[in-house]
Structure 1
């Protein structure tokens, strides 16, 4: 799935869409944690989920400051992000991590674009850049770890 998040015309819409994306990501992480056979991998994924929870907290504060009603759950993409994990479960941990990596591709792209949004103030841009780095780190771990299992 290729996300268009980060291309919104206003900062308000961008923050709203990032909140949806984070809710979707958190649901995928929870599904992943439940399905991984390796407790070590589950523990690492749980630390990444904490990053997403922290991102969501910051985004909710941004929404409040912008006067935007923050979504309280994911959108229709959540079925795709969690569905990939459920299907990958049949093939084992490597497949689950590869499915998660594809979800991370979307968050990496979204935060990269968000960091360049013309309406973002310096503090917002700094947060978007930090979140982008977090997502890059998550994606790299998932890719490298999945490759070691193949």
Structure 2
């Protein structure tokens, strides 16, 4: 049986869930454009983090009587919550800037939602996800600033 949760809390968890779904779609689009091996590796790792966030948030939302989000939506159906879309043929600089934009939005959303009242278990989940988001943002900022796609394919920028 589903536990009870304040509708505002449920709405906030659903907002995080949807922003993580949108982030997966943004990473999918970026991975179609980026061939730099170290960038691909990092972006696949970040995409996996977002997929884990989705699974964990879905479980939490369902536990409290909310509806699970579908991960398999296509890009045309995706709201992208203000993210800059990545389109085929975009210059790599623009792809990385879109990733920076998306991670900034994701970080701002997590930071705002962390200010709300949460049970210790849910706060811990949101905190863990936020730590991932901060790591993603630092990496894409550095990769963008150093234009890593122009450098040696074996060098991964330190974060």
**TM bin (shorter chain):** 0.7 to 0.9
Q: Is 1:40 the counterpart of 2:38 in the alignment? A: yes
What is the CA–CA distance in structure 1 between the aligned matches of 2:124 and 2:62, rounded to whole Å?
Answer: 18
Unaligned runs of 5+ residues in structure 2 are 1-6, 151-159
Q: Equivalences for 1:105-144 in 2 at 5 Å? A: 105-118=104-117, 120-144=118-142
Give the greater-gyration-radius structure (CA).
2
The CA RMSD over aligned residues, in Å, is 2.3
- The answer as to whether partners of 1:32 and 1:85 remain within 8 angstroms in 2 is yes
Summarize deviations over 1:83-134 as a string: whole Å, max 9, x none: 62217x4222x3211110100011101111222212x211111111111111
Structure-1-length-normalised TM-score: 0.82
C-alpha displacement of 1:80 = 5.5
TM-score (norm 2): 0.78
2:91 paired residue number: 91
Q: SS where residue 12 of structure 1 aligns?
A: helix
More helix by share: 1
State the distance in 1 between where 2:81 and 2:133 align. Answer: 20
The Cα offsets for residues 16-65 of structure 1, whole Å up to 9 and x where unpaired, read as 12111111110111111111131221111000011101111110111111
Q: How many pairs align?
A: 139
Q: 1:79 to 1:105 in 2, by over 3 A?
A: closer
